[in-house]
Amino acid sequence: MADRVTTVRDDSPAASIVRLHGVNKWYDGFHVLRDIDLVVAPGERVVLWGPSGSGKTTLLRCLAGLEPAQAGTMEIAGVRKVAAPLARPQPTAGVGLVFQSSSLFLNLRVLDNLTIGLRFVRKLPKREAEAIAMGNLAKLRMGEFAHRFPRQLSGGQQQRAEIARALCMDPQVLLFDEPTSALDPELKQEVREAIVRLAEEGRTIVVATHEHELVRGLAPRMVSMADGAIVGEFSADDFFGRDPA
């Protein structure tokens, strides 16, 4: 395990877009998140690193509001989340989550997948929603695939469409859960490059990954997890210097 990084970071509420303190989560009797303290600054790149079962995915799902925390305090993109024993899932405004596997609606064209949230949550007119969707598809180099169905896309194209869909809601924080793990090597590069470009635009990005090349491209702050707890932080330079398992 790499030593904890001794960097000076402004942890004041005004300087953070994600702020967690003492966050705990249980599944029945299983304690899956243990006293999580995490602060992420606007525009920061953070990689959650650790073995399968260490709590990375559950932490991302709690940040996105797909799972409630049972204890602690959570403030994300200016929204204070309820953490209580009987709390219910509540999607977090200002947060987009891209899953490990595609969750696109197979019976809808890519364009229609992207406009659902804009039209039925944001209540935007169809023409305006489609303009936003096409702009984000173009950003991900997916414009030519707008009128195809997900089954007509490669795995890498599906993941880029997923990212474009998340961007349509203009999130302040983008979360990625092992976004390249299910892809062939050449498709990994497509998705990896898309994520790095978003980071270079200044977006706040938190990624759970095991992929060294994605870490290399992002040059993030590494947050190490084990047994549901954050056990250390280290820089990307330290990561590649020590090559932790």
Q: Where are the alpha helices (DSSP H) in 34-125?
A: 56-64, 110-120
Residues 114, 133: Cα–Cα separation, whole Å: 6
Q: What's residue 102's pLDDT? A: 85
Give the C-alpha distances (Å, rounded to integers) separating 156 from 124, 183, 184: 29, 7, 8
Tally Cβ neighbours within 10 Å of residue 143.
16
Q: What's residue 13's pLDDT? A: 53
Tell me the pLDDT tens digit for each residue of 228-238: 999 999 999 99
- AA identity, residue 68: P
The strand pairing partners of 206, in sequence order, are 46, 175
Residues 224, 232: Cα–Cα separation, whole Å: 5
**pLDDT averaged per 10 residues, the chain (length 245):** 40 78 95 98 97 96 95 93 90 92 93 96 96 96 96 94 95 95 88 95 96 95 97 93 59
Q: Parallel, antiparallel, or unpaired for β 71-76 and 79-81? A: antiparallel
- Note the pTM of the prediction, 2 decimals: 0.89
- Mean pLDDT of all residues in the chain? 91
Which 3 state secondary structure label does DSSP give 111?
A: helix
Domain spans, the chain:
105-168
Q: Where are the alpha helices (DSSP H) in the chain?
A: 56-64, 110-120, 126-139, 155-168, 185-200, 212-218, 236-242
Q: What's residue 15's pLDDT? A: 81
Nearest Cα neighbor of 203 from 58, 61, 40 is: 40
